[in-house]
């Protein structure tokens, strides 16, 4: 089989002129990024020295390519290179040189040659309305392509919120019936890397884990790698002490905003959003939304578009119309209840009047009776 | 109508009364702190975070009372199997025809007020029992969602038992939203519950209000579990 003669990742790096020192530095860096202990560096390095390049198919369905944009901006100098070199990106609509028949051939070559071995990366959701005609590539629907490719994949990584939970395409009213990948295919190991887009280092980290250890990383209940999604943005936020102290920004132009207080009351979704923004930050650790004075919008959580508005702490409550929070609905229901109680109390005094009068009269009788007895 | 001959019935045992007031107290604390967590007052400003911790304290109180509420609730379920017949679980779930018949009757007498026939039941009537069953379901829902949300910020094993609810409901967003919305169920329930207790005491004169303090209700001779056997009373003779 051809993969015996495929160069390993280390051999490939040497051919590209990467020095041993740079290679080891990158290995140590990636091990740390994966949240693995320093003792794993050797194991990790050995894996990259002995493993051949992983064939990868990267599909783009209903998406905006922000995941790819994020990925190619991976901050560590070597990582994006190493990933793009170390994997054999056989098919990706936005980056490959081939087009038309050549591109389709490359796709089918990999699918047949490396059946059960290739890694499938999916960016974007898949529309299912009207037979899936809202997203077609090479004359076939996204659904069709997805199902065919997933059948022979070693694992599927769902890039970004579109593939993981539908994101903006699946927001109400979802005219194309955009559907996240996990609802369409089964029987293949799947990793969700949500975010709009996900952090570049989280994306590379997930691939590197698969590459080095040949198994999917530990996942949480929603199928996200625990190394990056086990903590809420809120838990790692540098403004957290302000939250605990009850120091809140009340409007974006107030004194508290200048002081850098907590953005909870401004609708920050940090407390309900699982992501690594507070730790890894963006653009090589430069900043993240909260550091720039804007609340988290919860872009890595399911349905975040429909849980708006972004600048209101409590989302609108479904079924009560626009701009009705649970509290507004609750106050209205409370008022209705109080009116109902008042009406019932009035009604009681009218309709049960006879009954109550009788009872009062009968107790009067007793009193009178006693009095009479006493008198006798 | 002869109603003046009343006999005492020990309806609510001490554990039931204790449960009731611990539950009522923790619900008040949980609603107040829960509302504050959802919509905190911005009372502090121009200070350093290291000097204050009030919001942390509010959350701490919420979590502590959540534990009290949960174990109190579990205790009440246990008592539904070992307590007296008024505390028994069968009162809460309408499995018997008699309960459905009584429900119709209670709705006619107490809700629509179209009828004045007295309701015989001494403990919970069928509608009340079923309403409490629904509140138990709401308790369960609040415990599941609350501890589910809490699991992510706790290292303890107990809240971890509830962590599965978050993926089931599709993430913290939805769980928090529903946890918050259900707070209003308790507020509405408390309004109606307190009113209904006053209503029953007013109309029936059985000592409904004081019964949750003393345990005793005052029941007409004809419905009293013991007195009804010695039916021919003095007043019937005249």
* pLDDT tens, position by position, A337-375: 999 999 999 988 888 888 888 877 777 655 555 544 444
CB contact (8 A) between residue A246 and residue B55: yes
State how many domains chain B has: 1
The confidence band for B236, taking pLDDT boundaries of 50, 70 and 90, is: very low
- The answer on A160 and A14 residing in a single domain is yes
Q: What range defines the domain where residue A356 resides?
A: 332-375
CB A315 within 8 A of CB A268: no
Alpha-helix runs per DSSP H in A152-220: 160-165, 200-213
Measured CA to CA, the distance from residue B72 to residue B35 in angstroms comes to 22
| Mean pLDDT for chain A overall | 85
Query: Could you say which of A255, A315, A348 has the minimum Cβ distance to residue B45?
Result: A255
Q: Identify whether B231 is part of a domain.
A: no
Query: Could you say which of A221, A243, A272 has the minimum Cβ distance to residue B176?
Result: A272
CATH number, residue A36: 3.40.50.700
Q: How much is the ipTM here?
A: 0.80
CB contact (8 A) between residue A355 and residue B113: no
- The answer on A368 and A262 residing in a single domain is no
Kindly report the nearest CA distance between residue A335 and chain B, in angstroms.
9
State how many domains chain A has: 3
- The answer on A278 and A365 residing in a single domain is no
Res. A252: pLDDT tops 80: yes
CATH number, residue B86: 1.20.950.20
Q: Identify whether A320 is part of a domain.
A: no
**What pLDDT is stored for residue A79 in this prediction?**
57
CB contact (8 A) between residue A356 and residue B202: yes
- The answer on A239 and A219 residing in a single domain is no
- The answer on A149 and A243 residing in a single domain is no
- The answer on A207 and A237 residing in a single domain is no
Final residue in a domain of this structure, among A228, A262, A285: A228
CB contact (8 A) between residue A307 and residue B173: yes
B48 versus A277: which is more confidently predicted?
A277
Neighbours of B115 (CB within 10 A): 13
Q: What range defines the domain where residue B43 resides?
A: 15-191
A196 versus B6: which is more confidently predicted?
A196
- The answer on A52 and A179 residing in a single domain is yes
- Beta strand ranges found along B133-178 (DSSP E): none
Q: Identify whether A327 is part of a domain.
A: no
Q: Identify whether B196 is part of a domain.
A: no
Which of A94-103, A309-318, B176-185: highest mean pLDDT? B176-185
Res. A123: pLDDT tops 90: yes
Measured CA to CA, the distance from residue B66 to residue B69 in angstroms comes to 5
Q: Residues of chain A with pLDDT > 70: what percent? A: 90
Taking phi first (over 0 means left), then psi (-120 to 50 degrees means alpha), and beta for anything else, what does residue A184 get?
A: alpha
State pLDDT tens for residues A284-319.
888 999 999 999 999 999 888 988 788 888 777 766
Kindly report the nearest CA distance between residue A330 and chain B, in angstroms.
6
Does A358 reach chain B within 8 Å, measured CB to CB?
Answer: yes
**What pLDDT is stored for residue A17 in this prediction?**
84
**What pLDDT is stored for residue A76 in this prediction?**
63
**What pLDDT is stored for residue A201 in this prediction?**
85
State pLDDT tens for residues B77-107.
999 999 999 999 999 998 888 889 989 888 8
Does A269 reach chain B within 8 Å, measured CB to CB?
Answer: yes
Q: Identify whether B135 is part of a domain.
A: yes
Res. A2: pLDDT tops 60: no
Res. B3: pLDDT tops 70: no
Q: Which residues contact A293 (CB under 8 A, 6 or more apart)?
A: A252, A257, A260, A263
- The answer on A277 and A177 residing in a single domain is no
């Amino acid at each position: 089989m051809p993969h015996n003669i495929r160069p390993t990742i280390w051999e490939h790096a040497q051919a590209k002129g990467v020095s041993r020192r740079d290679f080891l530095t990158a290995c140590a860096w990636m091990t740390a990024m994966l949240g693995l202990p320093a003792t794993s560096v050797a194991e990790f390095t050995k894996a990259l020295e002995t493993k051949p390049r992983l064939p990868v198919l990267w599909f783009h369905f209903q998406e905006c390519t922000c995941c790819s944009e994020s990925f190619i901006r991976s901050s560590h100098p070597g990582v994006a290179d190493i990933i793009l070199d170390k994997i054999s990106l056989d098919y990706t609509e936005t980056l490959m040189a081939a087009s038309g028949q050549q591109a389709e051939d490359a796709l089918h070559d990999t699918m047949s040659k490396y059946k059960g071995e290739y890694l499938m990366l999916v960016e974007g959701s898949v529309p299912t309305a009207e037979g899936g005609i809202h997203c077609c590539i090479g004359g076939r629907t996204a659904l069709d392509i997805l199902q065919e490719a997933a059948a022979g994949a070693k694992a599927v990584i769902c890039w970004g919120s579109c593939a993981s939970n539908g994101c903006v395409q699946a927001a109400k009213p979802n005219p194309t019936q955009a559907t996240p990948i996990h609802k369409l295919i089964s029987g293949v190991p799947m990793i969700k890397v949500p975010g709009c887009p996900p952090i570049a280092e989280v994306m590379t980290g997930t691939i590197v884990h698969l590459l080095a250890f040949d198994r999917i990383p530990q996942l949480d209940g929603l199928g996200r790698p625990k190394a990056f999604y086990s903590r809420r943005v809120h838990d790692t936020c540098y403004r957290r002490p302000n939250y605990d102290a009850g120091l809140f920004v009340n409007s974006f132009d107030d004194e508290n905003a200048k002081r850098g207080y907590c953005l909870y009351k401004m609708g920050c979704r940090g407390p309900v959003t699982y992501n690594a923004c507070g730790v890894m930050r963006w653009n090589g650790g430069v900043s993240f939304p909260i550091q720039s004075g804007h609340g988290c919008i919860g872009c890595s959580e399911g349905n975040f578009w429909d849980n708006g508005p972004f600048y209101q702490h409590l989302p609108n409550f479904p079924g009560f119309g626009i701009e009705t929070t649970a509290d507004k609905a609750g106050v209205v229901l409370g008022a209705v209840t109080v009116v109902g109680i008042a009406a019932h109390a009035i009604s009681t005094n009218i309709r049960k009047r006879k009954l109550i009068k009788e009872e009062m009269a009968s107790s009067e009788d007793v009193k009178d009776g006693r009095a009479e007895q006493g008198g006798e | 109508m002869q109603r003046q001959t009343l006999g005492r019935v020990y309806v609510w045992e001490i554990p039931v009364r204790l449960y009731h007031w611990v539950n009522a107290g923790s619900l008040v604390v949980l609603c107040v702190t829960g509302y504050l967590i959802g919509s905190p007052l911005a009372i502090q400003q121009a200070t350093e975070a290291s000097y204050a911790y009030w919001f942390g304290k509010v959350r701490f109180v919420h979590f502590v009372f959540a534990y009290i509420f949960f174990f109190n609730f579990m205790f009440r379920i246990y008592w539904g199997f070992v307590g007296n017949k008024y505390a028994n679980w069968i009162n809460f779930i309408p499995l018997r025809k008699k309960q459905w018949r009584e429900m119709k009757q209670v709705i006619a007498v107490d809700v629509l007020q179209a009828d004045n026939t007295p309701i015989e039941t001494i403990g919970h009537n069928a509608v009340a029992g079923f309403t409490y069953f629904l509140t138990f379901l709401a308790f369960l829902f609040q415990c599941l969602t609350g501890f589910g949300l809490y699991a992510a910020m706790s290292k303890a094993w107990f809240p971890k038992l509830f962590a599965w609810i978050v993926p089931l409901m599709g993430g913290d967003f939805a769980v928090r939203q529903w946890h918050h919305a259900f707070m209003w169920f308790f507020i509405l329930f408390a309004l109606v519950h307190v009113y209904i207790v006053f209503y029953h005491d007013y109309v029936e004169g059985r000592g409904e209000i004081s019964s949750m303090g003393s345990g005793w209700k005052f029941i007409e001779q004809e419905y009293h579990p013991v007195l009804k056997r010695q039916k021919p009373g003095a007043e019937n003779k005249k």
